[in-house]
Amino acid sequence: MDETAPPTRRTGSGRGRASGRVGIRDVARDAGVSVATVSRVLADDGYPVSEASRRKVLESVARLNFVPNDLARGLSQDRTNTVGVIVPNLANLYYARVLLGVEEVAAQNGMSIIFCNTNHNLANRERDIKLLLQKRVDGIIICGSGTDYENSAGRLADGPAPFVVLGRNEKLDYPAVHADNRRAGYTATRHLVDLGHTRIAFLTGPERWSDGNDRVAGYKACLADHGLDFDPDLLIRCDFAEQDAYERMTQRGHAGMGFSACLAGNDRIALGAMAAAIDLGLRVPEDLAFVGFDNIATSLYMRPSLTTMDMPAQRMGAEGMRLMLRILAGEAVPSRTVFDAALLVRQSSGGLR
């Protein structure tokens, strides 16, 4: 039987407390029921509550604009229904696609997401991990490959929350979801070799980037399989953004290009390098062909459109969230889930005839 209390009528804004924050006790007084009844209605967990009391509670919730305190509810249940997601750089549209996949599956399962952007800064990363654990998230999804999380590996393993990694990182012993980047690098290189190129540069990211290193390994393997020598001078390092790629390509142009095609470690690198080539008076793809990685939205709509490897970012984000849900449910999950990438042939490589 529901406990009842004398109803309280309110005027004006309907805010329950002087502080302006409506609490569960305010809802109980307004509806004329006990706090326990309000909790049972809001939990909607099957506990028997009369239809009349349920209707009173829901009407009061709407009238008072009451928002349940999910954190307090989660603490009482040892769950917050919240997952933290750490990304290296939200300016990279690849990670925007990853987050779409994570968020879609989270929303389907009643989970909330807290996003943290490190901007490739190690201090920010440490701060974000600490912040998420303090907020008692149920788990943390780490986006990005490389060595960025090595120093945290021991602390993460001893922490209260499970982790899933989106990207290949052999130093973190957690379930990981990533693309077969070696195969992707091989496929992209073979496309250019099939078009007749024998001097192919690779403009890639820093050495700490595992995904990029796997793509370079595929590039080298393809050259070897086709009887082409790897020239270390054609492996050009830059950061992940357009400006640095533009500057590196401009420098190479002034020094004498020495290659007829260029693989770019991601589409942002490709966009900067292509802009530099065009500003140097080169024709794309007649004088210099380009292939990128990621298939970000702008790659299709620039001119010439960018041939690219379609890395399944959104699918990987969705799968990472599914793995997290399985872990939280106590299920065993695979240590590695690997996706293949598809070559999208467009104008920049000269593959469209």
Tens digits of per-residue pLDDT, 224-275? 999 999 999 999 999 888 999 999 999 999 988 899 999 999 999 999 999 9
pLDDT in the model for residue 71? 52
pLDDT in the model for residue 4? 40
Q: How many CB atoms lie under 10 A from the CB of residue 114?
A: 16
- Taking each helix axis from N to C end, the angle separating 51-64 and 35-43, rounded to the nearest 10 degrees, works out to 90
Burial class of residue 68, CB neighbours in 10 A (0-12, 13-18, 19+): middle
pLDDT in the model for residue 146? 57
Which amino acid belongs to residue 41? V
What does the alpha-carbon distance between residue 124 and residue 118 come to, in Å, rounded to a whole number? 5
> What is 1-68's CATH number?
1.10.260.40
What is the full DSSP assignment across 156-214? Answer: HHHSSS-EEEES--TTS-S-EEEE-HHHHHHHHHHHHHHTT---EEEEE--TT-HHHHH
pLDDT in the model for residue 223? 98
Q: Which residues of the chain have pLDDT under 50?
A: 1-19, 75, 153-154
79-179+314-339 is classed CATH 3.40.50.2300: yes
What does the alpha-carbon distance between residue 265 and residue 247 come to, in Å, rounded to a whole number? 15
Residue 100 CA neighbour count, 13 Å, CB half: 9
pLDDT in the model for residue 8? 38
Which amino acid belongs to residue 256? G
User: Taking the C-alpha atoms of 196, 198, 202 and 208 in order, what is their torsion angle to the nearest 10 degrees?
Assistant: 120
In the structure encoding, which two tokens stand for residue 193, read together?
A: 């070799």
181-310 is classed CATH 3.40.50.2300: yes
pLDDT in the model for residue 151? 52
Whether residue 114 contacts residue 84, with contact meaning beta carbons closer than 8 Å, is answered with: yes
Residue 23 CA neighbour count, 13 Å, CB half: 7
pLDDT in the model for residue 6? 41
Q: Where are the alpha helices (DSSP H) in the chain?
A: 24-31, 35-43, 51-64, 70-77, 93-108, 122-134, 153-158, 181-194, 210-225, 242-255, 267-279, 298-301, 313-328
Whether residue 311 contacts residue 268, with contact meaning beta carbons closer than 8 Å, is answered with: no
Q: How many CB atoms lie under 10 A from the CB of residue 353?
A: 4
pLDDT in the model for residue 227? 97
Whether residue 98 contacts residue 314, with contact meaning beta carbons closer than 8 Å, is answered with: yes
pLDDT in the model for residue 150? 53
List every span in the chain annotated with CATH 1.10.260.40. 1-68
In the structure encoding, which two tokens stand for residue 59, read together?
A: 């009407």
pLDDT in the model for residue 13? 38
What does the alpha-carbon distance between residue 316 and residue 167 come to, in Å, rounded to a whole number? 9
List every span in the chain annotated with CATH 3.40.50.2300. 79-179+314-339, 181-310
